[in-house]
Amino acid sequence: MKHWSRDELKPVARVVCSQSLSKRQRLLRWAYALERHRGRLLRTFRGIEHEPRTQRLRARMRDSPLSVAAEDPVLSSAGLHGDSFGEAVRFFRLSHWQLHALVCACHFGESVAAETIEFRVRRLANRATSLVAAFAFLLAAIAGAMLLSAAMPSHPAWDLAYRQSPHGGPD
């Protein structure tokens, strides 16, 4: 049996990802695809936010940041099925407004450098991770406060002061 490297297989076979990618991994892979196109000007969508929802979801633009993503074999094998606005929203798990901020002419003009979008996509990927971490920290802080309050013994003087204060308990 002959063993082939990945590079040897590329011309004769499609190398497929066997694992699903997280949102962050998908965004970082898109950024990597854009990085390979540094110096290239990409076309932007004009007035995409004003289109009816059904038209917006079907909108496509040749030589756009979305077409760069659709051409990437890793993203394609992970489930990206085209370069439409709606497919990008679904696959990258972005809101319409998040994607609009990455591909619309109102932010960049008729075209934008691939590295500009790469930077923004990376920032979005890192922000998604930061929000999850912040939420986990908040939940841990709430749980810790609840445990501390349950573990603290009440003191009769504190109870009396609470009941006698104008904002305290019932009279």
For the chain, the maximum distance between any two Cα atoms, rounded to a whole number of angstroms, is 88
Higher pLDDT, 156 or 79: 79
Quick: pLDDT tens for 64-114: 999 999 999 999 999 999 999 999 999 999 999 999 999 999 999 999 999
CB 88 within 8 A of CB 66: yes
Spell out the residues 6+ positions from residue 163 whose beta carbon is closer than 8 angstroms to its own. 169, 170, 171
Count Cβ atoms below 10 Å from residue 17 Cβ, excluding itself: 15
Q: What is the mean pLDDT of residues 128-132?
A: 60
Count Cβ atoms below 10 Å from residue 54 Cβ, excluding itself: 9
The answer, as to whether pTM is greater than 0.85, is no
Helix H or strand E encompassing 41: strand 41-43
In the chain, domain spans: 10-164
Higher pLDDT, 6 or 79: 79
Structure tokens at 135: 């939420």
Spell out the residues 6+ positions from residue 16 whose beta carbon is closer than 8 angstroms to its own. 77
